[in-house]
Amino acid sequence: MRIDLHTHSILSDGELTPAELVRRAMVIGHDAIAITDHVDMTNVDLVVPAVVRAAELTEDYIRTIPGVEITHVPPKQIDKVIKRAKKLGAQWIVVHGETVAEPVAPGTNLMAAGNSEVNVLAHPGLITDDVMEKAVRNGVLIEITGRAYHNITNGHVLAVARRFGAKMVVNSDAHAPGNLMDEVAAMKVAVGAGMTEKEAYDAVCVTPFDAVRKLK
């Protein structure tokens, strides 16, 4: 059982076509996958329709959820890009959080946490208590990431998430074939971040499935 809710294809900076991404995920045991290619104000109109079409064309494999990762967008414009992506058919909204590995604009985490249309705050770096509290209040899932460099703050993210009872998901943020994680690999990322076995099981095998079931 495995659902990955944060992946990339050649529609942004990934290495695989959507069909190959989905097929490879299926082969390693995924039940569903979200394709969440990077968008900002300039390319959302191009990327989202292509991802929606990809989801339709790969339905013979596993469930494919068309989504986006809103990336390096000025915080005040994030809500506008979300609205546009949803209008074009995106069903899953990931916001590229304030990872310590990239110069993400301060305030990005706060804007994402404050919008109930956001599904996942990805690799949120040194997330603060006020942001985590807001994310919980708005039903935003917190990512524990398998992505190299982004994952160096997983332990901090987990510690803050625990204090506020945030729901967490383990995602690959896959850009290349070797980035995809089966259930065993995802559990290792979770436990490596400091999760208990129950927390890891919930983040890998429960919360993602609950989230996908709520989609229309």
Whole-number pLDDT of residue 1? 79
- Which of 66, 3, 22 is CA-nearest to residue 207? 3
Rounded to whole angstroms, how far apart are CA atoms 128 and 97? Answer: 12
Mind listing the pLDDT tens digit for each residue in 169-210? Answer: 999 999 999 999 999 999 999 999 999 999 999 999 999 999
Q: With 90 as the cut, is the pLDDT of residue 76 above it? A: yes
CATH number of the domain at 156, please.
3.20.20.140
pLDDT band at 52 (very low <50, low <70, confident <90, very high): very high
- The token pair that represents 138 in the structure block: 């708005």
Range of the domain at 135: 3-213
For all residues of the chain together, what is the average pLDDT?
98
Regarding pTM above 0.95, the answer is: yes
- If you write DSSP's letter for every residue of 55-72 in order, what string do you get? HHHTTTTSEEEEEEEE-S
Q: What is the mean pLDDT of residues 134-156?
A: 98
State the total domains in the chain. 1
82, 93 in Cβ contact below 8 A?
yes
- Which of 193, 181, 179, 186 is CA-nearest to residue 151? 193
Mind listing the pLDDT tens digit for each residue in 140-149? Answer: 999 999 999 9
